[in-house]
Amino acid sequence: MNRNDEPGPLRVVIAEDAAIMRDGLTQTLTRRGHQVVAAVADGDSLLRAVAQLQPNVAIIDVRMPPTHRDEGLQAAHAIKRDHPGVGVLVFSQYIETRSATELLAGARGGVGYLLKDRVADVGDFIEAISQVAHGGTVLDPEVVKQLLTASRRADALSSLTPREREVLSLIAQGRSNTAIAETLVISPGVVEKHVASIFAKLGLLPSDSDNRRVIAAMKYLQS
């Protein structure tokens, strides 16, 4: 992980209707030197706060008042449409693959979709926020797992080695080559070789941008 390389504190807006989670996130972020400029409990307040404060990133719970359905998701789409520069990290109690892939495909980076459980691994979660704030793309491992399970490309995928499947999964989660090398404890050079092999086997065009790489992998698995 390259969290130490990230420059400066982030300006964050939190939208979460559960006070305990809202406060917990605020404290955690503040302790790490980030600035929580607004913490709100519903979609409308979120849109107003984002428009006024132009934060680096908004952390958004999917289910919020008044209907407790997908207010957060709607708000996330609206923010990416009206303020493409603001990073959006949606976190949800449940995985909805379709919601996740729609959100990612509709944006050019600066977007993430994580299961709420991920807050437990504080470091990784903060890293994900930072990644999204800086234009990166983050997809929950659970979503990637479902995409791989349900993929219609079972034949092509079966031509990958187990290691290559691991790497593909990490690519789809939005990890950079450096991050993948750290996670799998291998050298960046080996990762690059794996990536090249995967893209060749699946017939994907190599891409320098991690974002485009995620979208390509996601779309491939979905098609």
Partner 1 sequence: MRRQSEPNGSRRAGPYAVLMHDAWAWLRRHPWETDVALAGAILLLSLGQTTADPLIGVVSLALAATVLARRKYPVEAFAVAVAVAATQVVYGLSPGGGYLIGAWQPTVADIVLAVLLYTVAANTAPRTSVACLAVCIALSAIAIERWGPANSRHPLDSILAAAALLGSVSLTAWVVGESIAYRHRAASYASLEARAAQLEAERDAQARIAAAAERARELEVRRARAVDQSAARLRRIERDLHDGAQVRLAALAMTLGEIKENLESAADLAGDGGRTQRLISAAHRNAKETLAELRDLARGIHPPVLDHGIGPALDSLAETSAVPVGLALDVKHRPSPAIEAIAYFCAAELLANVAKHAGASKAEISVTSDRDRFGMTVSDDGLGRARLSPEGGLEGLLERVQTVDGQLTIDSPAGGPTRITVSLPGHA
Q: Give the three-state DSSP class for 220.
A: helix
**Residue ranges in 163-182 that form contacts with partner 1 under rule CB under 8 A:** none
**Which x/- pattern, by CB under 8 A, does the window 83-102 give for partner 1?**
----------xx-xxx----
- Cβ-based neighbours of 136, under 8 Å, separated by 6 or more: 109, 110, 112, 174, 176, 210, 211
User: How far apart (Å, rounded) are the C-alpha atoms in residues 67 and 64?
Assistant: 7
| Per CB under 8 A, 156 contacts partner 1 | no
| Cα-trace Rg, the chain | 17
Q: Tokens 């964050």, residue?
A: 12
Nearer to partner 1, 124 or 166 (CB): 124
Tokens of residue 219, six digits: 């779309």
| Per CB under 8 A, 187 contacts partner 1 | no
**Which residue type does 19 have?**
A
| Per CB under 8 A, 1 contacts partner 1 | no
Which of 87, 102, 135 is closest to 222 using CA atoms? 102
Nearer to partner 1, 125 or 199 (CB): 125
Q: Which stretch binds partner 1 (CB under 8 A): 24-32, 35-43, 163-171, 177-185?
A: 24-32
Among 3, 81, 108, 152, binds partner 1 (CB under 8 A): 152
16: left (phi over 0), alpha (psi -120 to 50) or beta: beta
**Residue ranges in 104-143 that form contacts with partner 1 under rule CB under 8 A:** 116-117, 119-123, 125
**How far from the centroid of its chain's Cα atoms is residue 23's Cα?**
22
Nearer to partner 1, 17 or 182 (CB): 17
Nearest-approach distance from CB 106 to partner 1, in angstroms: 17
Other residues' Cβ atoms within 10 Å of the Cβ of residue 159: 11
Nearest-approach distance from CB 6 to partner 1, in angstroms: 16
Among 3, 68, 81, 108, binds partner 1 (CB under 8 A): 68
Interface residues with partner 1 (CB under 8 A) are 17-18, 20-21, 24-25, 28, 31, 63, 68-70, 93-94, 96-98, 116-117, 119-123, 125, 146, 149-150, 152
